Amino acid sequence: MSQHNDAELYEKVQSGDKRSLELLYDKYEKILYSFAYRMTSHKESSEEVVQEVFIKIWKGQGHFDVSKGKFSSWLLTIARNTVIDLMRKRKEPAYELEERDSFASDEASTEDLVEWKEQGAKLRSAISTLGEEQQLIIESFYFKGITQRKIAEQFDLPLGTVKGRVRLALKHLRNALSEKKGGFEDNGR
């Protein structure tokens, strides 16, 4: 349950313990899948991403270092990189909306991780308070992982200003969050 456990499980996986891999899988399956789905809007690709992430963990590609932060953050970063990688490999245009609408109907799904439960709704509502352009910038930069040049084209910005816009949008988001609840507590490790 605790982060402390995650690091231990991870170490056991590194020495070949399949059971520990399964425990990590059970704990993070849903957030990983949901995050991948958030980025790809595509069910098969999302499953592929979750699989890739666990292949990477099993093979010890990329190493989790407890001193550098939470296991969940590390894991989700790997997932994000995997999605970006996958989307770049696919030359076909992204799947986009096709599934997202139909997906909304089978809802009733809930967050299962504590930190997800705590932060999910707040984050979504904080994002919704941002201006449209800032929301889109976060979408393009973070959830689509597109290049600086493409962001510049998409928003008709000089290349040199993209980074500033991204930081500004993210900082606004952070402010919106702290207004909501007076600070973002860190869930420890």
Among positions 52-91, residues that touch other proteins (CB under 8 A) are 54-55, 58-65, 68-69, 73-74, 76-81, 84-85, 88-91
Q: Please give the residues from 117 up to 136 whose contact with other proteins meets the rule CB under 8 A.
A: 119-120, 123-124, 127
| Cβ 40 to other proteins shortest distance, Å | 11
| Cβ 140 to other proteins shortest distance, Å | 10
Using the structure block, give the residue that is written with the tokens 């991204």. 166
Q: Which is nearer to other proteins, 96 or 103 (CB)?
A: 103
Q: What are the residue ranges of helices labelled H in 15-160?
A: 18-40, 43-59, 71-89, 100-105, 114-129, 132-138, 148-155
Site string for other proteins, 144-173 (x = CB under 8 A): -xxxx--x-------xx-xx--xx--xx-x
Using the structure block, give the residue that is written with the tokens 């860190």. 186
Q: Which is nearer to other proteins, 101 or 106 (CB)?
A: 106
SS3 of residue 1 by DSSP: coil
SS3 of residue 26 by DSSP: helix
Residue 51 φ/ψ, nearest 5 degrees: -60, -50
Using the structure block, give the residue that is written with the tokens 């308070």. 129
Structure tokens at 165: 């816009």
Structure tokens at 110: 């809930």
43 touches other proteins by CB under 8 A: yes
| Cβ 4 to other proteins shortest distance, Å | 18
137 touches other proteins by CB under 8 A: no
| Cβ 5 to other proteins shortest distance, Å | 19
95 touches other proteins by CB under 8 A: no
Number of residues that bind other proteins (CB under 8 A): 83
> Are the C-beta atoms of 4 and 49 separated by less than 8 Å?
no
Q: Looking at 116, 130, 134, 176, which residue binds other proteins (CB under 8 A)?
A: 116
Query: Burial letters for 175-187: b for 16+ Cβ neighbours within 10 Å, e otherwise?
Result: ebbeeeeeeeeee
Q: Please give the residues from 5 up to 34 whose contact with other proteins meets the rule CB under 8 A.
A: 14-16, 18, 21-22, 25-26, 29-31, 33-34
